[in-house]
């Protein structure tokens, strides 16, 4: 999957169409509450404009109906944030492939940036429409994919647009190149021992990931609420814990397949009131011995110690999903212990986006791991072993 990068093509005097992920969170006043996705796109953006290229940025934001402009999903705040961050004007089109976009794209000068309005205002984006993609492709002399968070999707901007570019360059940006390096290359040829840590609420969300990783990992550590479904599958008591009763047979199959590779919690930190975790009664019980009226909220200290010992010896670690309700102390203890073990270890450590990325960031360990993925769904898809058409069709590096 060695793909040609934006740095490897000539952009001077040329127009580059770049798919970015500016799907940033907004408050009720349309103010951006977290601009990390914009900041993370800067290396690719600067690679074009600093070398005299003209840059057209396209992205989605939220889930508009696809029937036209919706003010609450406009990319205008993202364009304004980018302008402030770059320290130069950024043009904003009022449409995606309409008259305003065409006019502003045509008026771009070397080193300038244009942001198109939300791709999903046009129904052709989600449908992968070739006509819509053709209009976007006509804007530019080359295409760059720097939106890893949507690389697992078949949206027009991800697949049909690069397909419509003809013989023009189609490359990856810095962000996607880094994601491929870690999530694909590290997993495809991992330094061993290779340990996966999987948490979160539902076994159903991670079935394919667990199946795939059991085949290639040396150890798979299970935490989060999905551990209670495994506990139920082993005949344990789970009290009022969150479980998927319809996935018990599946959990039994995974236990049988995993054998000694699959590590399940040996104790549980539980409480009797989810609505008041800080103030409720709490106790630590053996796994599978959660009494009625109580819920499991975190792995227990013995499990945390056991997992930390496995992580300590690892040379590659992939982590997707917290060990418990990390947002509500003291039920962040298990996630914190695992994060500390990953940070202290001598491994290539990859945090697979979503809640696990938020947990590592919140707990202060983000700068002590090798890589924090920007795409929760995309990172899960890659851990499942899925092929990404949006990446596969881009230009390979010359061997």
Which are the catalytic amino acids? 37, 202, 354, 377
Q: How far apart are CA 380 and CA 385, in angstroms?
A: 9
What's the Cα-to-Cα distance from 297 to each of 240, 285, 320, 321, rounded to whole Å?
11, 12, 17, 14
Question: Can you read off the two tokens belonging to residue 191?
Answer: 């330094």
Give the burial string for 59-78 (b: 16+ CB within 10 Å, else e): bbbeebebeeebeebbbbbb
d(CA 99, CA 97): 7
User: What does the alpha-carbon distance between residue 294 and residue 291 come to, in Å, rounded to a whole number?
Assistant: 6
3-class DSSP state for residue 356? helix
Q: Please give the radius of gyration of the chain, using alpha carbons only, rounded to the nearest integer.
A: 23
Q: Sign of the C-alpha dihedral, residues 38, 41, 46, 51? A: negative
Q: Which residue has the tokens 């409720």?
A: 280
Q: Which tokens in the block code for residue 208?
A: 């394919």
């Amino acid at each position: 999957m060695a793909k040609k990068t934006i740095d490897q093509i000539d952009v001077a005097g040329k127009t580059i169409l770049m798919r970015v992920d500016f799907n940033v969170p907004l408050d009720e006043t349309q103010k951006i509450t977290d601009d990390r996705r914009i900041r993370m796109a800067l290396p690719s953006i600067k690679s074009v404009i600093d070398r005299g290229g003209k840059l057209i940025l396209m992205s989605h934001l939220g889930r508009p109906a696809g029937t036209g402009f919706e003010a609450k999903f406009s990319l205008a705040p993202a364009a304004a944030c980018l302008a402030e961050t770059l320290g130069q004007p950024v043009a904003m089109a009022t449409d995606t492939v309409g008259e305003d976009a065409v006019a502003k794209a045509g008026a771009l000068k070397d080193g300038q940036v244009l942001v198109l309005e939300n791709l999903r205002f046009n129904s052709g984006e989600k449908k992968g429409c070739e006509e819509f993609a053709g209009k976007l492709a006509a804007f530019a002399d080359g295409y760059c994919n720097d939106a890893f968070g949507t690389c697992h999707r078949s949206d027009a901007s991800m697949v049909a647009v690069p397909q419509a570019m003809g013989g023009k360059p189609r490359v990856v940006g810095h962000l996607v190149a880094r994601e491929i390096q870690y999530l694909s290359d590290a997993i495809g040829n991992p330094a061993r021992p290779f340990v996966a840590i999987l948490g979160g609420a539902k076994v159903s969300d991670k079935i394919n990931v667990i199946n795939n990783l059991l085949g290639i990992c040396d150890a798979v550590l299970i935490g989060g609420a999905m551990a209670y479904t495994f506990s139920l599958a082993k005949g344990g008591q789970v009290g009022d814990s969150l479980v998927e009763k319809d996935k018990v047979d599946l959990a039994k199959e995974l236990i049988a397949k995993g054998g000694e590779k699959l590590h399940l919690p040996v104790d549980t930190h539980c409480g009797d009131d989810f609505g008041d975790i800080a103030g409720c009664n709490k106790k630590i019980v053996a796994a599978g011995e959660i009494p009625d009226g109580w819920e499991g909220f975190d792995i227990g200290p013995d499990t945390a110690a056991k997992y930390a010992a496995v992580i300590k010896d690892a040379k590659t670690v992939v982590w997707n999903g917290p060990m418990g309700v990390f947002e509500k102390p003291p039920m962040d203890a298990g996630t914190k212990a695992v994060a500390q073990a990953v940070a202290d270890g001598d491994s290539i450590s990859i945090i697979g986006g979503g809640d696990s990325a938020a947990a590592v960031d919140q707990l202060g360990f983000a700068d002590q791991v090798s890589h924090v993925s920007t795409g929760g769904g995309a990172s899960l898809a890659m851990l499942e072993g899925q092929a990404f058409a949006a990446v596969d069709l881009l230009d390979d590096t010359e061997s």
